[in-house]
Structure 1
Amino acid sequence: MSSEKTSSVLRNRNFQYLWAGQTVSAIGDQMSGLALPVLAVTMLQASEWQIGMMNAAGMSMFLLIGLPAGAWVDRWMKRRVMILADVVRMLVVLSVPLAWWAGILNMTFIIVGAAVISAANVFFDVAYQSVLPIMLPKEQMAKANSALETTKQTSMLVGPAVIGFLLTIVKAPILMLADAISFLVSLVSVSRIKMDESAIAKQDRGKLRDEITEGVKFVTKHPIIGRITASTATFNFFTSGVHTLVPILVLRNMDVSPALYGLVFTAAAGAGLAGALSAAKIGEWIGQGNTVIAALVLSAVAVFGFPIAAMIGDASALPIVILSESVIAFTGLVYNITQVSARQALCPEHLLGRMNASIRFFVWGVMPISALLAGAFATWFGMVPVVFVAAVGALLSSWFIFASPLRGLKTIVPKAE
């Protein structure tokens, strides 16, 4: 039965287009994800504060426009929103190598570009999370999300190591051209999707504020989605600060080469792939509710590896960083596949955009604040105390879901007969 459901998902032509486009886009994101920190730290000599600003700008729009974006996406054609967002992201990423070639690239340019991409990401992500439940039956959500994450993690297995090697022979801005191309592939793939959706007529739209409030209330009052959101937001608040400082820890303090820096993410991708492939089985084994709780707790425990590595402070601590990133990747994929599939199925279709936007507002909106605080506090107090406090906070984040109906829950969403 399970294999039949999986194959039916994979045979869906619309899902195939979405799947292909997002796989290529994930590869492109790796290019920028690895090239940008190397560019900032090694070429532009960015400080802790500037790295914090860059990371904050990259997530800022989920905090600033996340809530209205959800209401807007519920009103608009979601596929069209995704295409326009890909166009914006492609053009902004393309501007980085062009600015470098023209000799005008600096951290201000990078930070502003990150903010613009963040705005496009808000609309794409909300529409992307909302289009899947329209495209597929609810009982196929877990299989579809698992397939998307599996291919994403598979592409990341070899990608970071290859990119890390390329960064030793090619300048970082040049590699960002691949990300621009990946957005082009994504928009072409999304444009091929044919699905039954229509924009809400203006006369049928409610007040924007009322629609936003409806989405926020649904998330905060739901006994399962609300608790998951609270734990995820708290966890992200503390761990985003840690990951803001990781490039400085590895590339500067440890004096690790870009090639070895790429291997950190290769190892994590392998663990993430294992998590994506095993998420459904783990949920069946210990129950979906217990899976969500256990995955978050283990992720939080792994964060303690970063203050240990920071205390050692040289390349000998790199295996600790790799182990921590790998555990976080494995448990993070198990956690996300389980809880994202649950909330997609638990939410009424007409609230999907606002539900996803409200959750993103809380769980990603805290990340730019965290990045700024991490950059500032690391400048004032040093890296070790900052990442240690963050690890303690990440562990405490599990309280919300531990003290919730999730504990002991075998199945969050009953399977369709």
Structure 2
Amino acid sequence: MTAPASADRPDDRPAGGPAGGPADRSVTDAGAAPTGLLRRHRDFRMLWVGETANKYGSAVTGLALPLIAVSTLHASTLQVALLGAAGWLPWLLIGLPAGVWVDRLRCRPIMLVSTAASLLLYATVPLAALAGALTLWHLLAVALLAGAAGVFFQTAYTAYLPQLLDPADQSEGNAKLHGSASAAGIAGLGSGGLIAQLAGPVNGLLANTATFLLSLWCTVRIGHREPVRSERPRRALRQEIGEGLRLLASDVWFRTFALFGAASNLVLTGYQSLLVVFLIREVGVSEGTVGLLVAAASTGGIVGAAVARRIAARLGTSRAMLVLELALPALTVLIPLTGRGAGLAWYLVGGFGASCGVVAGNVIKATFQQRYCPPELLGRLSASSAVLNFGSIPLGALLAGALGTQLGVRPAMWLMTVGVPLAALILWCSPMRHVRDLPTERRAPVGGSAALPPVAMRAATGGTVGKGGAPGKDGAAADKGGAVGKGRVAGKGRVAEKGAAAGGGVCALDAG
């Protein structure tokens, strides 16, 4: 493998930089203007291309599997919902131990093995169809096993990105990754629907062969090598799982995001698992039109990734989360109004709003988690959060399938979409509406004594800190940089003012 250009080498870092740390800085030379992350950071560029290819193939698969079930195997509404649930069930089964194993091992080899496993699993579907042996049980097994590979990949990937990028680059990196994922999803959904209409839905899975191979090649080409994990006493799996769960349960910010993610994914997946059946059987559109409609609505994700940092800089990261996750996804209530002709606009508006809000919120949340979580616990925290966030997905699919069978598809769509803005009320009832910005530093060690509350700072733009160590006017937790006062505790759910400390180190999530 030829050596990359000097500016792209993984080992290029400022003098005195830590060995094994992030590869590149925002400014390459003293006084030089910062360049784009994709141009100056070769390893991130490889990760970005590989992930974009991976997301494209996954989008084709996500549309192709239910289309195969509906059009080729003539599956019922409940069976299609079961297929959607199977891909996410592994998060409930192996999500927690996967987090421990990711923290024990290096992330990049886990990503490589997971991608290779997904490639082989999806390749069995067109082969079985060619042999005339494809069944619904085969599709369910592929979805379940590929979902298990995805558990390890997603957990390792979440823990790997902060090792690759400096903190100053993480917000831009997350925005680019989420934006390209949305664009790849649009291309995958659109082309997958057209392939299904022209050549049959089974052939749509053939795209995965090339995309997963490209993802594997790009991951292999990443030059950054993770530092050797520090030797620490190997404890029982249950103890290490418990450490991640305690971090999630004891911190109000992690807890709020996890509860919101679980509730939101329950209803979002509920209506999405019925979407193909709804559009084909209730609205009466063709398979190709389904792909085009979903792709058009998904352009909201590109817009959301593009504007997330700007909205966070203007409103503050906490307020931006409320706007993006509460106001925009509420447009999903328009989706059940979808009909033929001009009535398709209801789906486009509702789907666009949901996609825009969810992706933009994910950019802000991912950057917050990477900065706020102790690095040695990031794998376990990601897995613990994902068990709640993704564990509710199969439940949502099963619930929607049962409701669709008992009440009909359109009434079930109404129940699921109305739940989207209701789930976002979890954020509104949390400390998020009392502060301008999410914290960027967690001062209390896990299992340690209570320390000062986290400093709320501008996570997306690095807002200024006032004199005395407390946030200034841009930080908004303490007035004009006043010092933290002794013994003065903020009221329930309130933000400390003029130097008062929040009780217990963090604000509590109000009951009810």
What band does the TM-score fall into relative to the shorter chain? over 0.9
Quote the Cα distance in structure 2 between the aligned partners of 1:10 and 1:33. 31
Quote the Cα distance in structure 1 between the aligned partners of 2:198 and 2:147. 29
Give the equivalent residue in structure 2 for 1:259: 288
Q: Tell whether 2:395 aligns with 1:369.
A: yes
Give the equivalent residue in structure 2 for 1:317: 343
Report if aligned partners of 1:268, 1:330 keep a CA contact under 8 Å in 2.
no
Check 1:8–1:244 CA distance in 2 against 1; reply closer, same or farther (3 A cut): closer
Quote the Cα distance in structure 2 between the aligned partners of 1:113 and 1:163. 18
State the 1:276 CA deviation: 0.8
One-letter amino acid of the structure 1 residue matched with residue 368 of structure 2: A
One-letter amino acid of the structure 1 residue matched with residue 333 of structure 2: F
Quote the Cα distance in structure 2 between the aligned partners of 1:39 and 1:308. 26
Give the equivalent residue in structure 2 for 1:183: 212
Quote the Cα distance in structure 1 between the aligned partners of 2:79 and 2:146. 17
Q: Tell whether 2:408 aligns with 1:382.
A: yes
Report if aligned partners of 2:329, 2:353 keep a CA contact under 8 Å in 1.
no
One-letter amino acid of the structure 1 residue matched with residue 57 of structure 2: G
Report if aligned partners of 1:130, 1:352 keep a CA contact under 8 Å in 2.
yes
Q: Deviations over 1:52-94 (max 9, x none)?
A: 1101101100111101100111101110000000111000000
The structure 1 residue matched to 2:353, chosen from 323, 327, 332, is 327
Quote the Cα distance in structure 2 between the aligned partners of 1:6 and 1:391. 42
Give the equivalent residue in structure 2 for 1:207: 236
Q: Tell whether 2:386 aligns with 1:360.
A: yes
State the 1:286 CA deviation: 1.4
State the 1:316 CA deviation: 5.2
Give the equivalent residue in structure 1 for 2:420: 394
Check 1:159–1:47 CA distance in 2 against 1; reply closer, same or farther (3 A cut): same
Within 5 Å, which residues of 2 pair with 1:272-311?
272-309=301-338
Within 5 Å, which residues of 2 pair with 1:213-228?
213-228=242-257
Report if aligned partners of 2:278, 2:410 keep a CA contact under 8 Å in 1.
no
RMSD between aligned residues = 2.2
State the 1:323 CA deviation: 1.4
Give the equivalent residue in structure 1 for 2:57: 28
Quote the Cα distance in structure 2 between the aligned partners of 1:272 and 1:61. 26
Larger deviation, residues 234-243 vs 87-96: 234-243
Quote the Cα distance in structure 2 between the aligned partners of 1:172 and 1:220. 43
Larger deviation, residues 322-331 vs 298-307: 298-307
Quote the Cα distance in structure 1 between the aligned partners of 2:286 and 2:414. 25
One-letter amino acid of the structure 2 residue matched with residue 15 of structure 1: F
State the 1:207 CA deviation: 1.5
Select the structure with the greater relative contact order (CA < 8 A; seq sep ≥ 6).
Answer: 1
Quote the Cα distance in structure 2 between the aligned partners of 1:108 and 1:166. 23
Instruction: Give TM-score, length-normalised by structure 1.
Output: 0.93
One-letter amino acid of the structure 2 residue matched with residue 347 of structure 1: C
Larger deviation, residues 174-183 vs 403-412: 403-412
The number of aligned residues is: 414
State the 1:399 CA deviation: 2.4
The structure 1 residue matched to 2:377, chosen from 351, 370, 382, is 351
Report if aligned partners of 2:303, 2:356 keep a CA contact under 8 Å in 1.
yes
Q: What residue ranges of structure 1 are gaps of 5+ in the alignment?
A: none
Give the equivalent residue in structure 2 for 1:110: 139
Report if aligned partners of 2:329, 2:357 keep a CA contact under 8 Å in 1.
no
Check 1:254–1:385 CA distance in 2 against 1; reply closer, same or farther (3 A cut): closer
State the 1:19 CA deviation: 0.6
State the 1:197 CA deviation: 2.4
Check 1:255–1:385 CA distance in 2 against 1; reply closer, same or farther (3 A cut): closer
Quote the Cα distance in structure 1 between the aligned partners of 2:381 and 2:287. 39
Q: Deviations over 1:351-374 (max 9, x none)?
A: 010011011100000101111121
Larger deviation, residues 249-258 vs 203-212: 203-212
Larger deviation, residues 176-185 vs 337-346: 176-185
State the 1:174 CA deviation: 1.6
Check 1:125–1:230 CA distance in 2 against 1; reply closer, same or farther (3 A cut): same
Instruction: Give TM-score, length-normalised by structure 2.
Output: 0.77
Larger deviation, residues 179-188 vs 129-138: 179-188
Q: Where is the helix percentage greater, Structure 1 or Structure 2?
A: 1
Q: Deviations over 1:323-360 (max 9, x none)?
A: 11111111111111011111111111100100110111
Within 5 Å, which residues of 2 pair with 1:103-142?
103-142=132-171
SS of 1:364 mapped into structure 2: helix
Check 1:213–1:4 CA distance in 2 against 1; reply closer, same or farther (3 A cut): farther
State the 1:8 CA deviation: 4.3
SS of 2:115 mapped into structure 1: helix
One-letter amino acid of the structure 2 residue matched with residue 339 of structure 1: K
Q: Percent identity?
A: 29
Quote the Cα distance in structure 2 between the aligned partners of 1:203 and 1:150. 38
* Higher gyration radius (CA): 2
Report if aligned partners of 1:75, 1:199 keep a CA contact under 8 Å in 2.
no
Check 1:406–1:397 CA distance in 2 against 1; reply closer, same or farther (3 A cut): same
Quote the Cα distance in structure 1 between the aligned partners of 2:160 and 2:463. 20
Report if aligned partners of 2:318, 2:436 keep a CA contact under 8 Å in 1.
yes
State the 1:229 CA deviation: 1.4
State the 1:4 CA deviation: 5.3
State the 1:274 CA deviation: 1.1
